[in-house]
A and B are shown apart, each in its own frame.
Chain A
Amino acid sequence: MKVRKRTILAILATIFIVCATNSLWLISSPLVVDFDISAKSSGNAEVRLSHNVNKIYNNQDFSRINHLSYSIEKAKFHKKIKFYFSDLNNIFPITLRNITLRNGKAKLNNWKNFKLEGGKLEFKDNSLIIKPDYNFVVLTYNEPLNFIRTDFKFDFYIFVIIAVLSFLCMYKLTCYIADFKTIKNQSRIEIIFLAIFFVMLFIPMSKISQDDISRNENRRLAVWKPLITQNGQINYNFGKDFNDFFNDRFNFREKIIPMSVQVKYLLANDYVEIPLGYMYKSNGWLFYNQNQSDIHNSFKPLTDDELEKYTQNIQRLKNYCEKRNIKLYIVIAPTKEYLYREYDKKNSSKVEEKTKKLVEYVKNKLNYEIIYPVDELSHLKLKEYVCFKTDHHLTDSANFLIYSVLMSKIKKDFKDIKISNLEQFRISYNNLVRWDGDRQFRNGCNYERGLLKDNKLLKTLYKYYDYMSLNDINIDCDFPHCVHKNKNGKYKLFLIGNSYCENLTYFLNTSFSEIDKYRFNTSQPYFPRRKASLDIQGYLPLIEKQKPDALLLILSSGYVDRLNELYD
């Protein structure tokens, strides 16, 4: 290749690089966004302009602040502005006022242009009232922000440096390619092949996600941990940390993975492995993998030593409660993997040996009855769904049944306690899963963690029970602790449980005046101790303080081994 040709090619490549790096030499001024906020909740607040990611106000108590201000760096090409409110601790309304841009020079006051995802939006007294359905809402101003001119600053020195360096590098590269020994003899097919391969090789690292969390995976993404820590020490796990960081954040990750799951789902004839578990296309039932030990623990045998230790722990807790005139109740909910084992074609012969053995042993040795309503639920499932097909939790129907069984036992100890009957609930049908935590509970949600999008999976209707006297009830949540109050109740309940307690609490709330509910299986470093452990000693001071009439432990069958660690 002649020198002239090489120079022209190098100039063209330089122009391309200079254009591509425009953000370095053509710097747009920050866009300041201000607004007033008021709410009774706390959570994260964030403002985004197109794809610009900005500082997030994490764990803000909106009842204590009334104003938020953001300075969005490199704010050019004003297209759409979005307000994110995430990790909300409850679903109380959030009110926004005086949304201004560029230090008050422009106002977003055309309310019709606002659109909300994840809740309902109202406009009242020059205010936007956001009523979240979930713990995560996104408010979008749909009109392009063309009325704000982007302020640019041209950095001449950076421009010259980039242009000169690019030209030198590109000229060198052009020469190198031109001199590449045998390239001139190669067919274009091979050159194109190699070019595509190398482009594909660079795509994943071409953009690193700046997100903090993955909604699909329901977890925080790995963060960057440098080789040299802030204390000046060497991070010997840098390689592993980097792998975690990159695996969570490479380009197109959020698109590629759902695509692969969907392809796998479409190609499978019946059994299909999906993230977390497996599903049968023919019947739509999802089950969790064996490695989800918290679900499959119940199928393991219980040794005599374990049995003795569990029983001793229960006895000790029972003694503690009796001394303080507190009634103790323990509910163990059977797992879906057992209740619906006939739909799990590959593992249909499972038996919840552990729980059955424990319940019988405790009954014989301590003369104490653990509530394990497996027969009642097995009977009910002949008439209606007791578990969600695409989730592992129990339905409202199953929870109402457990509530009835539990209350009939409680009634023996508290003669005047009120037990709600079916007439006190409004019955409706819905295809969404009322799962897990308070924050996303009442409206149900589409179970997407399996990343499957198949309308067939949403055809099943589940019975919803909604208490009709909601005005009597007040719920105050600061996850994992929630206080449920009912002005018509008489007795106080202290409740410790895993996710199976969430739905049941709404039924118990109709009978007790106050429920102090603690969710023990959260991986956050929450009170009282390490994640997912049931260390009762951490709760004892609280029980002493609250002076409840009854203490209730709610576990699913897979969590039975937590009884081992009650007093560790």
Chain B
Amino acid sequence: MSFIFVFLPIVLLFYLVTKKELHNPILLVASILFYAWGEPKYLVIMILTILINYFAAIAIDKYKNYKKYILGLTIIANLGFLIYFKYFNFLIENINGIFHSNIHALNIIMPIGISFYIFQALSYVIDVYRGECKVQKDIYKLALYICLFPQLIAGPIVKYHDVAEQIDSREVSFEKVDLGVKRFIIGLSKKMLIANAMGAIADEIFAQNPHYVTHLTAWLGAVTYSFQLYFDFSGYSDMAIGLGLIFGFKFMENFNYPYISKSITEFWRRWHISLSTWFKQYVYISLGGNRCSKLKTLRNLGIVFLLTGIWHGANWTFLVWGIWHGFFIILEKIFNIKEFEKREHSMWVNVSRHIYCIFAFVVGWVIFRADNIKYAWDYLMNMFGLLTLREPQSFVPDYLQITILLVALICSIPTFKNILNCKNKKVQTIVNIWLLILFFASTVAIASSTYNPFIYFRF
């Protein structure tokens, strides 16, 4: 509530009425404030990340003979933060499990957004190492790139070479502000009105033991969770892209209707594009990409998806989820799906390909959502009718939930894809009114979440 209705209007007010020269300082101060707002002590980690990468890039630029070693050290330092804060306790847990040791876990709280800004910082030093962009001598500009608040917490992961010029100079225009506001409202509505409603159903179903829910309910849980994830994540990305536009930036799109994909390869061209391109550009290509033997290419793909899985969280479920997707990607590579995609197919073939893809990612999301592998297995067994049920309960959604489910379905396919760019005045008017209604409805939903009644006397 306070981000959208206090922080944002104040920053926008300052940003839009001041001169261009002040835009970067305002954004930098706002970004630091934004980060410190949640947990001030983790600002130190971010500042350290900025300093390490700033000096490392300068050193790479200056000592070209040693640049490989400097890059290696920088990557170790960056990933060191990530491993410590995100995976340390997971590693300890597994070491204890394997060696029956009794190493105590540490009380580590993961700094918010660390997975995103560490990857952005890495993107900068690797770009400098590869000579794809010039070293940034102005530390404030580098700091702005790493901690820019619109995409700091949930992406998209902006690559340095994509925004280097925009940080130096960008235009704030009426069109950009207008389009940015619209994208922001769409993102907010996706999150507040669709993702949260789908999440409420999914949470209720996934909270049950898989033995106690009917097959249909298990499928409903999997489908609603798939929608929750898409609308939640793409909603945040839309908000980030929208805010970026208001501030004059043009960030890359992060989602492109992934649920209409006909293969998992296509799915990863449409889902979390900034992450998949990051792994492609900085890991896959570094490993040799597809310019090596077929076996090595498949190995590279496997590594990339293993890393993609573990990037999402410190749990075996994420790793298995990565392997699950990697398996399909490798399978599709072996069967040369790209060539297959180029050909024209009958409707039935296309429908079958859709069903195959939906099956693969929905099963994947169940693994992703489950707390542990055992739960994921039982849940999947239930979905496919292979689990013995004990007095199973059904979840019956109400009219509103069914309506939102239908809206989610319609909005996950490109029904209204170009509606924001429509030049017809009547359509524009309807769209604008509709967007304002959505903004109001989202505001009401946010406001409602602040209601916190107390059951007994509290005052």
Chain B residue contacts of A271, Cβ below 8 A: 398
Tell whether, in the assembled complex, residue A201 and residue B458 are in contact, meaning their CB atoms are under 8 Å apart. no
- Report which residue of B37, B445, B448 has the largest number of chain A beta carbons within 10 angstroms of its beta carbon: B448
Is B288 positioned at the interface, with any CB of A under 8 Å from its CB?
A: no
Report whether A220 and B1 are in contact in the complex, using a CB–CB cutoff of 8 Å.
no
Contact A219 B459 (CB under 8 A): yes
Chain B residue contacts of A220, Cβ below 8 A: 458-459
| CA–CA, A249 and B416, complex, Å | 37
Check if A305 is an interface residue, CB within 8 A of chain B: no
Closest CB in chain A relative to B33 CB, distance in Å: 9
B173 close to chain A: CB less than 8 A: yes
Is B452 on the interface with A (CB-CB < 8 A)?
yes
Q: Is the CB of A243 within 8 A of B2?
A: yes
Which residues of B have CB within 8 Å of A436?
456-457
B451 within 8 A of A: yes
On whether the beta carbons of A260 and B398 are closer than 8 Å, the reply is no
Partner of A260, one of B444, B452, B455: B444
A411 within 8 A of B: no
Q: Are A250 and B428 in contact (CB under 8 A)?
A: no
Instruction: Give bound CA distance, A104 to B459, whole Å.
Output: 35
Tell me if B9 is interfacial: C-beta within 8 Å of chain A.
Answer: yes
Chain B: minimal CB distance from A247 (Å): 4
Chain A residues near B393 (CB-CB < 8 A): 346
Query: Is A247 touching B1 in the complex (CB atoms < 8 A)?
Result: yes
Chain A residues with CB under 8 Å of B175's CB are: 182, 186
Quick check: which of A157-165, A189-197, A402-410, A507-515 contacts chain B, the rest being far away?
A: A189-197
Whether the pair B432, A204 counts as a contact (CB closer than 8 A) is no
Interface contact A522-B451, CB-CB below 8 Å? no
Known A183-B174, A194-B181, A247-B2: A275·B459 in contact at CB below 8 Å: no
B444 touches which of A203, A256, A524 (Cβ 8 Å): A256
Which of A205, A238, A268 contacts B5 (CB under 8 A)? Answer: A205
Q: Which residues of A contact B178 (CB under 8 A)?
A: 186, 190, 193-194
The distance in angstroms between the C-alpha atoms of A239 and B37, with both chains bound, is 4
Given contacts A213-B459, A220-B458, contact A201 B447 (CB under 8 A): no
Q: Which residues of B contact A213 (CB under 8 A)?
A: 459
Residues of chain B within 8 A (CB-CB) of A499 are: 456
- Mark A526-564 against chain B: 1 for CB-CB distance below 8 A, else 0: 000000000000000000000000000000000000000
Complex Cα distance, B38 from A236, in Å, reads 10
Hey, which chain A residues are within 8 Å of B450, CB to CB? 247-248, 250, 253, 257
Which among B87-95, B293-301, B361-369, B434-442 touches the partner chain? B434-442
Task: Indicate which residue in B2, B39, B453 contacts A218 across the interface (CB closer than 8 Å).
Answer: B453
List, in ascending order, chain B residues with CB within 8 A of A219's CB. Answer: 452-454, 458-459
A181 to B177, CA, bound (A): 12
How far is A190 from B156 in the complex, measured between Cα atoms in Å? 27
Contact (Cβ within 8 A) B2 A242: yes
A446 at the interface (CB under 8 A from B): no
A214, closest chain B residue (CB): B453
Q: How far is the CB of B96 from chain A (nearest CB, A)?
A: 24
Q: Contact between A201 and B454 (Cβ–Cβ < 8 Å)?
A: no
Is there a chain B Cβ closer than 8 Å to A270's Cβ?
A: yes
Q: Given known contacts A200-B439, A268-B398, is B447 in contact with A260 (CB within 8 Å)? A: yes
Known: A197-B181, A200-B439, A267-B399. A189 touches B2 (CB 8 A): no
A288 interface residue, CB < 8 Å from B?
yes
Report yes or no: A201 in contact with B2, Cβ–Cβ below 8 A: no
Report Cα–Cα, A190/B428, bound state, in Å.
Answer: 8
**A176 CB–B CB distance under 8 Å:** yes
B137 interfacial by beta-carbon distance below 8 Å: no
B16-51 Cβ-contact flags toward A at 8 Å (1 or 0): 010000000000000000001111110000000000
Q: In chain A between 180 and 230, which residues have their CB closer than 8 angstroms to a CB of chain B? A: 180-183, 186-187, 189-190, 192-194, 196-198, 200-205, 212-213, 216-220
B6 in the interface, Cβ–Cβ < 8 Å?
yes
Across-interface contacts of B448 in A (CB, < 8 A): 256-257, 260-261
Q: How many Å lie between the Cα of A437 and that of B1 in the bound state? A: 34
Complex CA distance for A264 and B444, rounded to whole angstroms: 11
Task: Using known A-B contacts A190-B432, A213-B459, A269-B399, determine if residue A257 contacts B447 with beta carbons closer than 8 Å.
Answer: yes
Q: Are A267's CB and B453's CB within 8 A? A: no
Q: Is the CB of B436 within 8 A of A523?
A: no
Residue of A with least CB distance to B402: A269
Q: Bound state CA distance, A242 and B346, in angstroms?
A: 59
B8 interface residue per 8 A CB criterion: yes
B216 within 8 A of A: no
| Contact between A200 and B447, CB atoms less than 8 A apart | no
Contact A449 B453 (CB under 8 A): yes
Q: Is the beta-carbon distance between B447 and A189 smaller than 8 angstroms?
A: no
**A187 vs B422: C-alpha distance when bound (angstroms):** 13
Contact of A522 with B457 in the complex, beta carbons under 8 Å: yes
Q: Are B17 and A201 in contact (CB under 8 A)?
A: no
Query: Does B443 have its Cβ within 8 Å of any Cβ on chain A?
Result: yes
Contact of B451 among A257, A269, A294 (CB under 8 A): A257
Partner of A236, one of B41, B177, B459: B41
**Closest CB in chain A relative to B213 CB, distance in Å:** 12
Q: Is B1 in contact with A243, judged by CB distance below 8 angstroms?
A: yes
- Contact among B6, B9, B185 for A246, CB-based, below 8 A: B6
Given the complex, which residues of B lie within 8 Å of A276, measured CB to CB?
453, 455
Closest to A256 in B: B447
Most buried by A among B6, B36, B175, B459: B459
A213: nearest chain-B partner, CB-CB: B459
* Contacts A218-B454, A220-B458 supplied; 15 other A-B pairs, CB < 8 Å: A176-B17, A182-B174, A202-B5, A205-B5, A217-B451, A242-B6, A246-B6, A247-B2, A253-B450, A260-B444, A276-B455, A288-B455, A292-B455, A523-B457, A523-B458
Write the residues of chain A forming the contact surface with B, with a CB cutoff of 8 angstroms. 87, 173, 176, 180-183, 186-187, 189-190, 192-194, 196-198, 200-205, 212-213, 216-220, 236, 238-240, 242-243, 246-248, 250, 252-253, 256-257, 259-261, 264, 267-273, 275-276, 288, 292, 294, 346, 349, 392, 436-437, 449, 451, 479, 499, 521-524
Q: Which 7 A-B pairs have the closest CB atoms?
A: A239-B37, A247-B450, A219-B458, A204-B5, A193-B432, A217-B453, A219-B454
What would 12 A/B residue contacts be, using CB atoms closer than 8 Å? A87-B459, A190-B432, A193-B178, A193-B435, A197-B439, A198-B12, A219-B458, A239-B37, A257-B448, A275-B451, A436-B456, A524-B458
Interface residues of B (CB under 8 A from A): 1-2, 4-6, 8-9, 12, 17, 36-41, 171, 173-175, 177-178, 181, 185, 200, 391, 393, 398-400, 425, 428-429, 432, 435-436, 439-440, 443-445, 447-448, 450-459
